[in-house]
C-alpha cells in the first residue's frame, strides 16, 4: 500500500496495472480458483471504471475495487456451493467443504491448498491480504471491515492451522 503514493488517482490504467496482479493473486488464495479470481477482479475494475468520476476522488479507490472483487468472489463461491448442494442434496456442508478442498488441492497440487480451503473465510482473506497482497495488519483490518484485534486473531488462527503444512514444505526443501 505504500506504493499507492506512486499512483495518480485519476489514472485508471495506472491503478489497474499496479493493483490488478496483486488482487488476482490474493483472491486466488481466497477462492482457490485463479480464473474465478481474475474474473471477479476484472468485473470489479469494470464497475470502478463506470464510476471512475466519483471513485477517483476517493482516498483509497483500490480499496473499493478490492471490496467489490471479494464480494463477487463470495457470490461466486456461494453459487458454486449451492450448485454442489443441488447435485448432492443429502450431503452435508462438511462434504461440500471437503469437495471444495479437494478441488483446490487439484488446482494447486498441494495439501496446503486443501488446508487453506478448510479455513474460515475470514482467515483465508486475512492471510491472502497479508501475505499475498502485502497489506499491513491495519490495512487488512480496514479492507475486511474488522478491528485490528480481530484481524490479528484471524491471522494467528490461520497461521496456526497452516503451520504444519508450511513447515513440511520447508523441510522438503
CA 65/CA 96 separation, integer angstroms: 29
Apex CA 5: angle with CA 124 and CA 59, to 5°? 70
Q: Please give the residues from 19 up to 58 whose contact with another protein meets the rule CB under 8 A.
A: 20-21, 24-26, 28-29, 34, 38, 42, 45-46, 49-50
Distance of closest approach, residue 84 Cβ to another protein, in angstroms: 22
- Burial class, 24, CB count within 10 angstroms (exposed 0-12 / middle 13-18 / buried 19+): buried
The answer to whether 51 and 36 have CB atoms below 8 angstroms apart is no
153 binds another protein (CB under 8 A): no
Q: Please give the residues from 91 up to 110 whose contact with another protein meets the rule CB under 8 A.
A: 108, 110
The answer to whether 73 and 31 have CB atoms below 8 angstroms apart is yes
Distance of closest approach, residue 85 Cβ to another protein, in angstroms: 26
Residues that bind another protein (rule: CB under 8 A) add up to a total of: 35
Distance of closest approach, residue 15 Cβ to another protein, in angstroms: 10
CA 14/CA 8 separation, integer angstroms: 7
Find cell 457470490 and name the residue.
75
Contact residues toward another protein (CB under 8 A) are: 13, 16-18, 20-21, 24-26, 28-29, 34, 38, 42, 45-46, 49-50, 108, 110, 112-113, 116, 127-128, 130-132, 134, 159, 162, 165-166, 169-170
Amino acid at each position: 500500500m505504500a506504493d499507492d503514493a506512486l499512483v495518480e488517482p485519476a489514472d485508471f490504467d495506472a491503478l489497474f496495472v499496479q493493483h490488478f496482479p496483486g488482487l488476482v493473486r490474493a483472491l486466488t488464495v481466497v477462492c482457490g480458483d485463479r480464473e474465478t479470481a481474475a474474473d471477479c477482479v476484472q468485473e470489479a475494475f469494470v464497475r470502478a471504471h463506470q464510476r471512475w468520476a466519483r471513485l477517483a476522488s476517493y482516498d483509497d479507490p483500490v480499496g473499493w475495487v478490492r471490496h467489490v472483487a471479494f464480494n463477487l468472489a463470495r457470490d461466486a463461491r456461494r453459487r458454486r456451493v449451492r450448485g454442489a448442494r443441488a447435485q448432492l442434496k443429502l450431503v452435508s456442508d462438511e462434504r461440500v467443504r471437503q469437495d471444495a478442498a479437494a478441488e483446490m488441492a487439484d488446482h494447486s497440487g498441494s495439501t496446503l491448498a486443501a488446508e487453506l480451503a478448510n479455513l474460515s473465510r475470514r482467515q483465508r482473506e486475512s492471510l491472502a491480504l497479508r501475505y499475498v497482497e502485502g497489506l499491513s495488519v491495519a490495512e487488512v483490518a480496514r479492507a475486511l471491515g474488522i478491528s485490528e484485534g480481530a484481524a490479528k486473531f484471524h491471522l494467528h488462527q490461520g497461521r496456526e492451522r497452516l503451520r504444519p503444512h508450511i513447515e513440511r514444505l520447508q523441510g522438503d526443501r
